[in-house]
Chains A and B, each alone.
Chain A
Amino acid sequence: MKVLVTGGSSLLGRTVAEQLRDRGEEVFLLQRRAGAPGFAEHLGDVADPATVIAAVAGKEAVIHVAARVGITGSWDEFAKTNIEGTENLLIAALAEGVSRFVHISSPSVAHHGRALVGIDAEPAEPELARGHYAKSKAQAELLALRANSDSFPVVVLRPHLIWGPGDTQLVGRIVARARAGRLATVGTGAALIDTTYISNAADAVVAALDRAPQLRGRAFVVTNGQPRPVAEVIAKIVTAAGLQPPSLRVPYRAAHFGGKVVERVWDRTGRDDDPPMTSFLAEQLATAHWFDQRETRRALQWAPAVSLDEGFQKLADWFSRQSTAEPH
């Protein structure tokens, strides 16, 4: 099967591509910059219709991973990549007669700021979602589900907090902060959060691709199904990197308020580096979000192969190989 994977430079995009290639699929990547030896690459932006049409041509399946992530940037930037980019892919795939479309979304599309405790995938709500990223992803998900039909099966997966060796988002940021001595526990650190080890997330994407005709039109949250207190997750990641867990504590209210101030400063000054705190991040770090995985596992006929503990071991091994390769 000829499969196009967008966002091939991301950890998830790359891992999915590798898994599909390893089982004999013909995999193509769409990404902005070259750098994936062993794959046929289309270079360009998903927001550019011409690039997308060219990339989708001749493909039987599309896995749409590419997205603008992060907590800084204007609404227009998020909307362009996440909403227009998704629309471009859907139109091109429909026109091309692609037979399966897996759209990667985020649990934040249905998160209104309250604690999420053992819930299943609720409908995406752009009006209530918090922040540009979640709002734009919510609209994109609705577009994808609306495009679904018997002849064009669309499945939406919402993996929650992917991490693993090579992850520059969650792991990379936490470790960088820990190294800089800027890592603090927000609130009590006891909020239970679900996370997803990278290969489990990739397995789930492949399962969704395989079962797309049966699962069409549905959205699933994907996690390891092993929620842990947020402070414990962070401590395990930091420990895997050979560092000390944070001893700093910031009360939730302070973090939330500080985050609002920081957002305003970044907004006014137009900085686009990562701010130390935003109100959204404070909320994410201090409220529970864990999910009911029963229906996801039943429908996808998938279960995580790597447990949290095994994942943290793999992460530690990877860090120790890294440090041998390039000592700090």
Chain B
Amino acid sequence: MVSPSPIAAASLPPAGLEGLDAKWSRLVTALDSREVERRWHVLDNRVAKPRITLVCVHGNPTWSYLWRSVLAAAPRDVRVVAVDHLDMGFSERTGQTRRLGQRIDDLDTVIGALGINSPVVVVAHDWGGPISLGWAGRHRSRLAGVVLMNTAVHQPAGSPTPRLIRMARSPGILETLCTRTTGFIKGTVRLSKKHIQRPVRAAYLAPYTTAARRRAIATFVADIPLEADHPSSPALDDVAASLACMDDLPALLLWGSSDPVFSDLYLRDLAQRLPGAAVHRYPQASHLLPEEVDVATPIFRWLETLDEGAGGYSAPVSGQPLWAAIERRHEDDAVAVAEMKGAEMVRSVSFAELAAAVAATAGGMAAAGIRRGDRVALLVPPGVDLTVCLYACWRLGAVVVIADAGLGPRGMTQALESAAPSYLIGVRRAILAARSLRWPGKRISVDSVGTQARRALGIWKTLDELEELGREAPMPEPPGADDVAIVAFTSGATGPAKGVTYRHHQARANRDAIAALYAITEEDRLVAAFGPFALYGAALGITSVVPDMEITSPGTLTATALAGAAAAVDATLVFASPAALRNIVATAHNLTPQLHNALSSTRLLMSAGAPVPARLLREVAKIVPNAELHTPYGMTEVLPVADISLTEIESVGTGDGVCVGRPVAGVEVAISPLDADGNATGPLTIDPEVVGEVCIRAAHVKDEYDKLWVTQQASAHPVGWHRSGDVGHLDDAGCLWIEGRLIHVIKTAAGVVTPVAIEHAAEGVAGVAQAAAVGIGPAGTQQVILVLVPDVPPRRAGLADFALADAVRGAIPVEVAAVLAVAGLPVDKRHNSKINRPQLSQWAASVLAGNRIERL
């Protein structure tokens, strides 16, 4: 045995580092792979007989301190050890250059010396990833799973290496940045989007006080195999290759997507190598993820799911594929899809033409290399082209990504970066945006383009070319009911847009739920002015016509355009958003008697997408005299949930909240009661008048939130249920009443208060045009604040007239601390109707703290 004296011995960290329990620290001695005795500093919560052991491996230039939150939050039967690599943290300074292969050996040595008998989950960050996965490859039988954060095992071909690492690697900079100064450490901490407190910053620097102690930081950076002939390249390639044998390994990928070093590029690479991985992207977080978000809670929640197994709820699967109606009517010359310009039908396809186009396009996509499971973004307005693309993708088994242009350029960029489609089909404007905003995906143009534009816009294929290609190509095998069909983005009205995935069986169930709810048969003809349902027109086997309107702003649909579309197909159904209905009512005076008459065969008008006021429906009823007016309740994650007609709205009268009707056939609704803190923690109940979060179970509930595993976990318990985030109750008759959003519940000392009912009460006071109730102050002792838009709006926002304030207090059964008056309430841009309560609450809190009154 050789024991050369180390450059510096291992030591325990100094006392008092922020958040670090001194009891965790221990020194471990073992012989490394060269038979040299080495000493490591290790954090260890020393749980005896653990169910499982987490081995946490840091990267460069951090140390085991990175994992303190995981140690602190560990359940009693989970052992957590976090190792300082040799020459890093408080482990021994060997004075040698240790490359990746050696570091994997070292990790093997120290784990061997820790006496771990339970199954192991490795948890790694940054360059801890390749080291720990190297170890994992050697110990597959002991391995229960991996948790990876902002790391990489492979530089994807054709993509640039991280600029920051290239810079750090350049001669001259490396020594200065990493060794001579603490620049690299400080820089790493400073990359965070969240402000890292001074004591924590100091703790990261604590083991690296001298240039001698920092030497390994530079050698670590130099060891990153950016080049193929780098000495550590073979070792990294081995690690990447070993993952191929671990593709059934349970994995959790937690990712800060604002990381300038390990971008989403590496997340996609890892997700492909670990197909079973649960993925959660944090769009706002950067590199040092454990300092920016709570990683401990997701990790331990994920460990629980390993034991729970899959199981759970399985909904009945309906038989008919989404394209079945198109195939069934492949010889039918009836109009399938039509587009309008004014009152003129400018383009249409029959079912026969649609069937042929879908088959050819699907075949062509397959021939061009688009595979089942590949993601294809569809940035095409409703109409013939969208229908062809959509059903071709579904027939091929490609996953369509749908993001409403109403999200705006920023929201679209976020959505597409998150969904990461391999292909993007778009009209010219969308292709332009994709080019300039660098949206991911090979570009397929719906419009034909010249060679120059083709090169300038980076267009890969056109839709015509694909269709042409497919005329000779064989039809691909159809996807199964369990394949993913769609990633649809939520409106983003209540936060960043989230991707929601549906499998084919869920999309089928969705189609069937709509058909059953509105008794739709192939005899029906639809004016499709509401996006989500318009997609299902061909799947329902009905004629759909898209009226002339600016699709990003439904408020541009005029009564004339609607009636023109209805006349073109003798429509029996109209689906339109409330914003469209408002404009239709406003422009109804332009209708000629003839056009007015065209709306008389409409038997049903459905409006959804935002709350639909009864008085609006009453106005609409005058325009479509023979139609039943319906408004379904639901959300991107499940629609429809419940449905109510205008007649029913009139008969239920007023109550606490808005009555949205009874759950539709096949949908179960239950309430998770609120506790004193306003959290929906109670077991599900269908007892009437119990207030809580509305939970939904149905065959057409979404599969999951895309790359938002943590959000998915929070939204899907008990298993099979979807937590809507809405608060409400069921009444004696089984009708559902919505009282507001869970996050808008006001947590007063006297109990929780939901906003909608008191807003209605305030709006009943003379002189009040509109009202919003928000809470200010700490949860549990919040004060209820009413913000009013009076009939006569004030010139300056501030306290409401005292007499009006007293009248409002008198009308509301809960204590109201203050009544403010404004000229208008802040609403979301998208629907122009959902009150932005978080913004309003923040504003009210500032005003009532005594600050200068800012513009709202």
**Residue positions of A touching B, CB distance < 8 A:** 115, 117-119, 187-192, 225-232, 235, 245, 252, 286-288, 290, 292-294
Contact = CB atoms under 8 A, between A and B. Distances in A.
Which residue, of B782, B820, B850, B852, has the highest number of chain A Cβ atoms within 10 A? B850
Interface string B809-852: 00000010110100000000000000000000000010111101
A232 B799 contact: yes
B783 interface: yes
Contact of B817 (A115, A192, A293): A192
Interface string B747-790: 00100000000000000000000000000111011110000000
Contacts of A227: 783, 817-818
Which residue, of B749, B777, B805, has the highest number of chain A Cβ atoms within 10 A? B777
A154 B820 CA distance: 42
A190 B850 contact: yes
Interface residues of B, number: 23
A50 to B, nearest CB: 46
Nearest to A297: B749
10 contacts: A115-B850, A190-B798, A190-B820, A190-B847, A192-B848, A192-B849, A227-B818, A287-B849, A288-B848, A292-B781
A325 to B, nearest CB: 29
A290 B781 CA distance: 10
B244 interface: no
Contacts of A288: 848-850
Interface of B: 749, 776-778, 780-783, 798-799, 802, 805, 815, 817-818, 820, 845, 847-850, 852-853
A187 B850 contact: yes
Contact of B853 (A117, A190, A245, A292): A190
A237 to B, nearest CB: 12
Nearest to B749: A294
Contacts of B798: 188, 190
Which residue, of A190, A225, A286, has the highest number of chain B Cβ atoms within 10 A? A190
Contacts of A187: 850
B236 to A, nearest CB: 53
B780 A294 contact: yes
Nearest to B796: A188
B488 to A, nearest CB: 40
Contacts of B815: 226
B849 A191 contact: yes
A119 B798 CA distance: 24
Contact of A118 (B781, B805, B818, B847): B781
A189 B850 CA distance: 7
4 A-B pairs with least C-beta separation: A191-B850, A118-B777, A115-B849, A292-B781
Contacts of A190: 798-799, 818, 820, 847-848, 850, 853
Contacts of B780: 292, 294
Contacts of A191: 848-850
A188 B847 CA distance: 8
Nearest to A236: B802
Given A117-B777, A188-B847, A190-B818, A235 B802 contact: yes
Given A190-B853, A192-B848, A294-B749, A228 B818 contact: yes
A235 to B, nearest CB: 6
A222 to B, nearest CB: 14
A188 to B, nearest CB: 6
Contacts, number: 76
Contact of A294 (B781, B817, B818): B781
Contacts of B799: 188-190, 229, 231-232
A191 B848 CA distance: 5
Contacts of A230: 850
Contacts of A229: 799, 818, 848
A130 to B, nearest CB: 15
A20 to B, nearest CB: 29
A115 B851 CA distance: 9
Given A229-B818, A288-B849, 16 more contacts: A117-B778, A188-B852, A191-B848, A192-B848, A192-B849, A226-B815, A227-B783, A228-B817, A229-B799, A231-B799, A235-B802, A245-B802, A252-B850, A290-B777, A292-B780, A294-B749
Nearest to A308: B815
A310 B847 CA distance: 27
Contacts of A235: 802
Contacts of B805: 232
A290 B527 CA distance: 56
A192 B802 contact: no
Contacts of A188: 798-799, 847, 850, 852-853
Nearest to A230: B850
Which residue, of A192, A231, A286, has the highest number of chain B Cβ atoms within 10 A? A192
A293 B805 CA distance: 24
Contacts of A115: 849-850
A66 to B, nearest CB: 31
A192 B847 CA distance: 9
Nearest to B809: A309
A296 to B, nearest CB: 10
A150 to B, nearest CB: 31
A287 B852 CA distance: 11
A63 B780 CA distance: 32
B821 to A, nearest CB: 11
A287 B847 CA distance: 10
A117 B849 contact: yes
A93 B749 CA distance: 37
A203 B280 CA distance: 55
A30 B783 CA distance: 40
Nearest to B853: A188
Nearest to A283: B850
Nearest to A192: B848
B817 to A, nearest CB: 5
A293 B802 contact: no
A225 B749 contact: yes
B828 to A, nearest CB: 26
Which residue, of B776, B780, B782, B853, has the highest number of chain A Cβ atoms within 10 A? B776
Contact of A232 (B749, B802, B849, B852): B802
A113 to B, nearest CB: 11
A152 B845 CA distance: 42
Nearest to A245: B802
Contacts of B853: 188, 190
Contacts of B850: 115, 187-188, 190-191, 230, 252, 286-288
Contacts of A228: 817-818
A294 to B, nearest CB: 5
Given A118-B782, A227-B783, A293-B749, A192 B852 contact: no
